[in-house]
Homo-oligomer: A and B are copies of this chain.
């Protein structure tokens, strides 16, 4: 049992983090018009308004409902409207129709957020010692869940605004201040020796240990052959070469399923790219910009990443290779609060392994599967990571839309191989 001082300090730290994260979500909405909050261009993207409400629903459903004395739902229908996929909680409003919820209005959703935020703050102050550990774990889970939705809010918004031929921008970003020419970093290979590696982290019930999702555990051994890893992300210029050499027309570089998707969706370039007057442009959260040669290539699917790697005579790293390489590196990069909101070229040539974090999620060749001995969280809240362990691939590293205190080397993000609307890019690997 922890002494009271530690507890108090820990509690305060969680409360601060909670309030900061809640406020940050709202600050992300500042540049938006009311008209923008309901946009949903495909089932996979949710309206901003829905993200705002759902993250509140999470705290209400998994924490207030359980620990608040005399709990009454804020609005009994919200349980249905803002449940994402928790079958144990109940039915869900159909995902592709979230854009049809003009009510509650944006301002009603902000009121709902305020209400839940205060309720949680109050609850934190009144937890009994029996509740303390579990409740705090859930709040920390809710904070991390909300950070995930912050990133989705931005990537979904980018996709949704992009459908408008007016190509409205979300906000001016910081990269406009960066000086125009910087010497690009040459691509190089870093070598890693074979051997048994320790992968993942043990996620403890102890609320004082660093947070990790259940899918990162348990820690276990994994044998790795020797391999080499690219020192930086693949650049736009490198990918343009692939395009110009007919990469999108040669089935031989593509996985069979990837080629089918490419045919069906008529892919000829990464998402958001288009050519005008012989030059490549792309849509960014700051509007349409020329594609910079030396910036990291973003918004490719797993299929494109894999085809590019094949064409290069290389391959994508496994998630274990990436983790072994990253484990002892510091978590640094241009995270979401830097407001670059797009990846920027590598420059820090003094480091060997560049752009691990804070630029782009990096596709690995690893299918998203349970680690040996994996157990999902108990209860309804456990319908989180485990139920998606088929047909998706692991991405590592975190992007320019991720929070710094949300990411670590053991973090396993996952998406379907055809997904392109995330900030996803490529780091190459090859066998020794």
Q: Which residues of B contact A99 (CB under 8 A)?
A: 38-39, 99
A373 touches B36 (CB 8 A): no
Q: How far is the CB of A63 from chain B (nearest CB, A)?
A: 21
Question: Contacts A87-B252, A367-B367, A390-B258: A35 and B103 contacting too (C-beta < 8 A)?
Answer: yes
Main secondary structure of the interface of A (DSSP, over half): mixed
> Residue of B at shortest CB range from A258?
B390
B223 touches A196 (CB 8 A): yes
B77 touches A165 (CB 8 A): yes
- The number of chain A residues with a CB under 8 A from chain B is 67
Whether a CB of chain B sits under 8 angstroms from the CB of A62 is no
Within 49-67 of A, Cβ neighbours of B (below 8 Å) are at: 49
A372 touches B225 (CB 8 A): yes
Q: Which of B105, B221, B225 contacts A223 (CB 8 A)?
A: B221
Whether a CB of chain B sits under 8 angstroms from the CB of A388 is yes
A251 touches B87 (CB 8 A): yes
Q: Which residues of B contact A391 (CB under 8 A)?
A: 257, 391, 417
The 7 nearest A-B residue pairs measured at CB? A367-B367, A87-B251, A35-B102, A100-B163, A34-B34, A256-B387, A36-B102
16 contacts between A and B (CB under 8 A): A33-B103, A35-B102, A41-B97, A87-B251, A93-B165, A100-B164, A101-B164, A102-B161, A196-B223, A252-B383, A256-B388, A257-B390, A302-B390, A365-B369, A372-B431, A391-B391
